[in-house]
Amino acid sequence: MLMLKFFYNVILANKSGIVGGSGKVLNSGPNDHIFIYYTDHGGPGIVSMPNGENVFANDLVDVLKKKHASGTYDRLVFYLEACESGSMFDGLLPEGLDIYVMTASKPDEDSWATYCGEGTPEDPCLVECPPH
C-alpha cells in the first residue's frame, strides 16, 4: 500500500504523505500544465504498480477530482499505457476538469508495447502505439 499512497500523495502535493520518500510532489500552481505518463500492466478497471499493488479506476479518478478541486493546475494531460487502459477513465472522468486523457487501448482490448508489422526486416517498428 505504500507505493500507491506515494503515487496519490505526489499527485495531490501532500508532502506529509511522502515520509520516507524523496519528498518531491506536484507542487503546481493554478497556471501550470501537468503531464503524467504511467505504464504498467492492466486489466478492466485496474492498472498495476511495480510492487504488485493495483490502482483502481474509481480511486484514480477521485484523486484527479481532488487535484482539480485544489485549483493547482490549468491543464492536466494523463497518458496511460496498459492493457484495458481505456477502462480507467471511460464513463468515469467527468467533463470540466481540464484533463486530457490518452490511453494505449480501448476499455476492452490488450495493448502492446511494440508493433513490428508482419515480421519482415523492412517493416517499421512502432513503440507504445495508441489504439486504431
SS3 65: helix
- Angstrom CA distances, 96 to 31, 44, 90, stand at 16, 25, 15
C-alpha cell at 106: 480501448
Which H/E stretch holds residue 26? none
Q: Just list the catalytic residues.
A: 41, 83
Q: State the Cα torsion 90-87-47-95 to the nearest 10°.
A: 0
Measured over the CA atoms of residue 1, residue 90, residue 106 and residue 127, the dihedral's sign is negative
